[in-house]
Structures are given as structure tokens and as C-alpha cells.
Chains A and B, each alone.
Chain A
Amino acid sequence: MRDHTQPPQSPQAPQAPQSVGYWRAVLRRLKHEPLAMLSAGVLLVLVISAVFAPWLAPGDPFKASMLKRLMPIGSPGYLLGSDELGRDMLTRLMYGARLSLVMGVVPVFSAFCIGTTLGLFAGYLGGRINMVIMRILDIFYAFPSVLLAVAISGALGPGLSNSLIALTLVFVPQIVRVAESVTTQVRQLDYIEAARMSGANAFSIIRVHVLGSVLGPVFVYATGLLSVSMILASGLSFLGLGVKPPEPEWGLMLNTLRSAIYNKPFVAALPGAFIFLTSIAFNLLADGVRSAMDIKK
């Protein structure tokens, strides 16, 4: 009997065994992708300015001034201009990065946790349980994702936590599908059979032997969702279904500044430019991670 702690290389194995060495190799390969590293740098700057906004920002994000409304970019004291209530744009953009990044990352992270767990169990247990879980998720696939997000947060009502719930619900079915299909493939391999014969229970087989193969593909898929989540989350705020005013958030700022597109177009377009920048950085980083994790090439 084969020793199940040493999974043999099977020709149809979807992924090579992933140890610490594997992830280190991925990181090393990622360092050679200039675009991915640039994106990581951009994201790092955004995260730092979001986390340390109270110390770095030049002003108060809520302090309005009736006299200094809609100052152009480059005015003294207002480096990036001021919004329709005279609040400093640079400050609000830095504080806004907090909520916008949270709304982009948190739904994907929670969907990653919930979806991987569900997918692992559906795929490993197979049979009727698999069918029930997957058929229920098929229903969510009958809704286009933007519509689903809008409908759920519209039904729950505006608010930060409600849009986080809505977005998580949008991403869970997609992640379950990826996790389930990889698990179903891995489950049929010999080393899993060996582990089962040696008396290991389902939970420890999933934790020790299956999880490692499934995390990789699901991780790649989830990183690709980050930019979608970012755009959708800000879109919900843009519609008035996300964060409530006067909180600084990029989508909401874009919405409240819409009336200013006639006289201060650059200031009005600024929050959207930041959404775009973040989303493109997430996408390029995800592309880099995908090719760094592709062992075949």
C-alpha cells in the first residue's frame, strides 16, 4: 500500500502537490512580472494611504465650506480641488480608499471562505448532497450578477453591510463551482483512495489531502474577482444602494459629484479614475498570479 503522506504524481493530477516550496516559487516568479509588481506597488500605496489617512491626509473629510465649493484641481490648500460641499477632495479620496477597498476585498474573501468549504464538501461527498448543493447554486446562475447584486441590496435596503452581503452572495456560487470541479477531479486519484483505506475520516482527508490541490485554482479565480467586486461595490454606492452619505466612498463621491460635470469635469471624474486605477491594478496582479501559478509553462 502506498504511504498516503506522499502523494504520487499521477498524469491526470490537476495540480502538483503544493507545499511551502510551491508558494515560494510562485512568489519568486511573480517578482519577475513587471506589470504585476507595478500593480502591487500601486495597491500598496493605496492601502497605506487608506490605513494612515488620519495622519497623511491634509484635512478633515467631513469639514464643508460653503465658500470653497468645487475648487479646481491645484488650488492652494486644495491640491485635488474640493467637492460640491467644499470638502477637500484629496482627503476624501484617501479616506474613501478605506471603504472602497474594504467593499472590494471583503465580499471576495468571505465568498472564498464560504465557497471553498461548500465546494469541497459537495465535491468530496458527491452523490445526492453534491446534486442538491449544485442545483441550488444553479438558480443563482439564472440571475445576471449585476442584477442579482442590485436586487438583493435593493431588497435589503441601502447600507454598507447589506451591500457586502449582496456581493458575497453573488460570488459564492461561482467559487463553489470552481472548488467543486477541482475536488471532484482530485477525489478520484489513487492517493485519496489510499488515505480512505488507511482509515482516515472524510474531514481529515479533505483538510490534509484535498485542500492543497483546491486552494490554488480557487485562489486564482478569486483574485480575478477582486476587480469585479470593486466595480460592483462602487457601482452600488453610485446607485445610492451602498454606503450612505456623508461617508467618503469613491462610488458615492462619483454620484454626488455628478451635478458638477458641467463646470468642474476633472474634479467630478476623479473618484472614478481611482476606481479604475484600483480595478486595473487588481486585474493585472491577478493575471500575474495566474501565470506565476501555471506550472506547465
Chain B
Amino acid sequence: MWVYILKRLLYALPIALSVTVISFMLVYLAPGDPLNAIAPADAPADVIEALKSAYGLDKPVPVQYGLWVWRAVHGDLGTSIASGRAVLTEVMGAVSNTFMLATIASLMGVSMGCVLGALAGYQRGSLTDKIATTFSVIGVSIPHYWLGLVLTIVFSINLGWLPAMGAGPGGSTEWVWDLEHIRFLVLPAITLCVIPMGIITRTVRALVADMLEQEFVIALRARGLSSVAIFKHIAKNTAPTVLAVTGLQIGYLMGGSILVETVFAWPGTGFLLNTAIFQRDIPLLQGTLLVLCMIFVVLNLLVDILQPLIDPRMGRT
């Protein structure tokens, strides 16, 4: 077991390293000088030189990269060009908002998906199955940014039940778990949860239907086990896959919430990325990308380590 964990950790290291390279290099894909974002086009030459050395842009790119990684390891991602604040502070505030949204949306989506998928898998071909399958097709097909707009139109504009934008009084920094703030979370969370709901419904339905036909279930039935007891066996066997999909989904939602965050003006990483891209705020863009991808790498790692713990068959191989 420990060998497996160690191996998996060693495997994640080169990936994490490559992620830093890509996060750093991506901005150099862009045509033009990164300095254009900072200095006006007609700035005098000495001002440009001074700015270049201030941002470390006068050094060769590999040296810049090395310095950037070295500082990142020590918790310094540079200073945002647009706001002048430390990138790490900005990113961490946004990450906690996005993480909250993504986790709640995944939990909602996964629990609904498990229920729908299990019901559908147990009663294949029934009306329940058809409803659940329809839900899952809609879940994976709907453009969620559009769903966000539709929900805003219905619940904020027409019914006036829920707020349309933002994260409540206090803005992005002062989140409190009270009704006042949770009201702002409802619509974005529902919008985001349709994706994991659709995917998990599909997965669980296929797994349950497949398992019900397997010999061990027939054997359990023949031994006279109650359907509740059999369900426990099935749940135990579906858990590892559901866990793996859930972990990936939280990761996808963390990176993929940019569209929904734009619709609801949710102060998360998507919002930050949007700002960074359109203001060409390079340190902010690099920092946000790096943190998001590292979270994704760690989530993948956690899933891989947790899986053999709940599924002993995997530990042996």
C-alpha cells in the first residue's frame, strides 16, 4: 500500500513540474510584447527599461521561469499588474469562493445522480428509467451558462426570489454561512450541479444495471438475502467508481466554473481569469492557472490514493 502511494506521488511530480512550465509559457504564445499591457506605446526608452527590470522581463525566459518557480515555491506569485496587490492573496480569496461553489455543486449533483442512476438501473425500461435518462441527457447537453441565464430570468427577474448576481453583502471577502449569503449561492450551485448530475446518473445507471446481472448478485438472491442487504453489496461495488468520477468532477468544476461565474458575477477564480485575460495581467493569469491546475493534480492524486482504500481489490494489483 505505501509503495503504491509513493509510486503515485513520484508519478505526480513530473506532471506538476510540467504544469508549472505550461502555466508560465502559455502567455508567451500571445503575439506582442508582454510589456504592452503595462507601458503605453509611446513611453520613453528608459521608462520601458526600468519597467522591464522591475518585472524581471529583461532576463532570458528560462531564467524568468526559474525565478518564478522559486518564488512560487516560497509562496510568492508576484504582483498583479492591474490591481497592484499580491497575486497569491487575490488567487487564494477567489479559490476559496470557487472551491465552495464547486464542492456544493458536486455534492448536490453527485447525490442526485446516485439516486437517479440507482433508480434507473434497478428499473430498466420503466418510466422512472426514462425520466432519469432524460435528466441525464439534458444534464450533459445543456450549455450551463445558458441555464444560468434562464434561472436568473425565472427566479430573479420574474419571481424575485433569489438575487441574480454577486456573493452577498461584504462582497468577495466576507463570506458567512447565513441565510443572507446562502441566497446568493443557490442559483450558481444549481446551474453548476447539472453537469455532475448528468454524468453520475449515466455512470451509476450503467454500473447498477451491469452489476444486477452478475453472478454474485444472483447467488446472494439465491441465499435469500433481503433486497436491502443486496443493495448494500451493490452500493459497495459502485462506490469506487463514483468516488473517482466525483473527484474528477470537482476538479473540472473548479476549472470550468468560469462561464457560470461570469453569468452570476461570482467572485471566484473564473472571474479572476476573465479579468486577467482581458486586462493582459500576466502575473495574475500565470498564478491563477498554476493554482487551479495544482489543485486538479492534487485532487487526481487523492482519488488515486483513496480508491484502493475503499476497494481492496485494487490494492493487490
Residues of A in contact with B (beta carbons under 8 Å apart): 135, 138-139, 142-148, 150-152, 154-157, 227, 231, 234-235, 238-241, 254, 258, 261-262, 265, 268-269, 272-273, 275-276, 279-280, 282-284, 287
Which B residues lie within 8 Å of A254 (CB)?
Answer: 145-146, 149
What is the chain B residue whose CB lies nearest that of A147? B255
Among candidates B15, B138, B143, residue contacting A142 with C-beta atoms closer than 8 Å: B15
B277 touches A154 (CB 8 A): yes
Q: Within the assembled complex, what's the spacing in Å between the Cα atoms of A269 and B263?
A: 13
Q: Within the assembled complex, what's the spacing in Å between the Cα atoms of A147 and B297?
A: 13
Segment among B23-31, B49-57, B229-237, B306-314 that sits at the interface with chain A: B23-31
Which A residues lie within 8 Å of B140 (CB)?
Answer: 227, 283
**Cβ of B96 under 8 Å from chain A:** no
B143 touches A138 (CB 8 A): no
Q: How far is the CB of B210 from chain A (nearest CB, A)?
A: 12
Q: How far is the CB of A70 from chain B (nearest CB, A)?
A: 15
What is the chain A residue whose CB lies nearest that of B17? A139
B141 touches A147 (CB 8 A): no
A139 touches B18 (CB 8 A): yes
17-51 of chain B: CB within 8 A of chain A: 18-19, 22, 26-27, 29-31
20 CB-based A-B contacts, threshold 8 Å: A139-B19, A142-B16, A143-B22, A147-B258, A152-B26, A154-B277, A231-B144, A235-B145, A235-B259, A238-B259, A238-B262, A239-B258, A239-B262, A240-B278, A254-B146, A265-B153, A272-B143, A272-B146, A275-B143, A279-B142
Among candidates B19, B146, B259, residue contacting A273 with C-beta atoms closer than 8 Å: B146
Q: Within the assembled complex, what's the spacing in Å between the Cα atoms of A154 and B251?
A: 20
Q: Within the assembled complex, what's the spacing in Å between the Cα atoms of A262 and B158?
A: 9
A272 touches B149 (CB 8 A): yes
Beyond known contacts A147-B255, A272-B143: 17 more, CB 8 A cutoff: A139-B15, A142-B293, A144-B252, A144-B296, A146-B259, A147-B273, A154-B276, A155-B285, A157-B31, A235-B143, A235-B145, A241-B277, A261-B152, A268-B149, A269-B149, A272-B146, A280-B141
Interface size in chain B (residues, C-beta < 8 A): 46
Which A residues lie within 8 Å of B141 (CB)?
Answer: 227, 231, 276, 279-280, 282-283
Which A residues lie within 8 Å of B81 (CB)?
Answer: none
What is the chain A residue whose CB lies nearest that of B140? A283
Which A residues lie within 8 Å of B153 (CB)?
Answer: 261, 265, 268-269
B145 touches A155 (CB 8 A): no
Q: Within the assembled complex, what's the spacing in Å between the Cα atoms of A231 and B195?
A: 12
B289 touches A234 (CB 8 A): no
What is the chain B residue whose CB lies nearest that of A263? B157
B149 touches A239 (CB 8 A): no
A276 touches B146 (CB 8 A): yes
Q: Do most interface residues of chain B lie in helix, strand or loop, or is the interface mixed? A: helix
**Cβ of B274 under 8 Å from chain A:** yes
Q: Do most interface residues of chain A lie in helix, strand or loop, or is the interface mixed? A: helix
**Cβ of B95 under 8 Å from chain A:** no
Among candidates B27, B143, B152, B252, residue contacting A145 with C-beta atoms closer than 8 Å: B252
Among candidates B29, B150, B158, B276, residue contacting A156 with C-beta atoms closer than 8 Å: B29
B145 touches A150 (CB 8 A): no
Q: Within the assembled complex, what's the spacing in Å between the Cα atoms of A262 and B154?
A: 11
Which A residues lie within 8 Å of B100 (CB)?
Answer: none
**Cβ of B256 under 8 Å from chain A:** yes
Q: Within the assembled complex, what's the spacing in Å between the Cα atoms of A270 and B301?
A: 42
B150 touches A272 (CB 8 A): yes
B252 touches A146 (CB 8 A): yes
A144 touches B255 (CB 8 A): yes
**Cβ of B137 under 8 Å from chain A:** yes
Q: Within the assembled complex, what's the spacing in Å between the Cα atoms of A139 and B293?
A: 10
149-165 of chain B: CB within 8 A of chain A: 149-150, 152-153, 157-158
A138, A139, A254: residue with the most chain B Cβ atoms closer than 10 Å: A139
Which B residues lie within 8 Å of A258 (CB)?
Answer: 149
A142 touches B149 (CB 8 A): no
B157 touches A262 (CB 8 A): yes
**Cβ of B243 under 8 Å from chain A:** no
Q: How far is the CB of B148 from chain A (nearest CB, A)?
A: 10
Q: Within the assembled complex, what's the spacing in Å between the Cα atoms of A275 and B274?
A: 22
B16, B31, B251, B289: residue with the most chain A Cβ atoms closer than 10 Å: B289
A156 touches B30 (CB 8 A): yes
What is the chain B residue whose CB lies nearest that of A165? B29
Given contacts A142-B297, A156-B29, A239-B259, contact A234 B143 (CB under 8 A): yes
Which B residues lie within 8 Å of A268 (CB)?
Answer: 149, 153
B143 touches A144 (CB 8 A): no
Q: Within the assembled complex, what's the spacing in Å between the Cα atoms of A11 and B185?
A: 53
B22 touches A139 (CB 8 A): yes
What is the chain A residue whose CB lies nearest that of B249? A144
B146 touches A239 (CB 8 A): no
Which B residues lie within 8 Å of A280 (CB)?
Answer: 137-138, 141-142
What is the chain A residue whose CB lies nearest that of B295? A144
